[in-house]
Amino acid sequence: MTALHQEHPTHEHVHGPVCGHVAVPHGDHTDYAHNGHMHREHSGHWDECESTDHVTHGSHTHEHGKNCGHSAVTHGDHVDYVHDGHRHAAHDGHWDDH
C-alpha cells in the first residue's frame, strides 16, 4: 500500500498511549485519529497518513455500524472502523482496507 508523504506542519499535539486519540496499528507504524485525519510520526514530525491505493478487503463478512463493537473514527468524509489491526471503510458495496 503506497502512502503519500504529506507533512502536518502545524501539529503541536504529541500523540501517544495516553493522548486521548484512537491509536490504529497500520503496517509498521501507529496512526492516531485526530480531527478527521490519520496522523503518524515520521522523522521527528507528524504526517497525514493517507493511502493512494484502493485495497478491497475481500473476505470481510462482518457488517460495521453504530453498535458493531469496533472503534469508529472519522476519516475525511466517511467513517473507518478499526478491526483486526487495520481500518475498514465502506465502498461500493464492499469494505476497503485503509
CA distance 91 to 76: 14
Query: Letter for the amino acid at 69?
Result: G
- Per residue in 38-96, pLDDT (tens digit) is 888 878 877 777 666 666 676 767 777 888 888 888 877 888 888 777 777 777 777 77
Cβ-Cβ contacts under 8 Å for 95 (sequence gap 6 or more): 56, 57, 60, 64, 88, 89
Neighbouring CB atoms inside 10 A of 44's CB total 5
Q: What is the pTM of this model?
A: 0.61
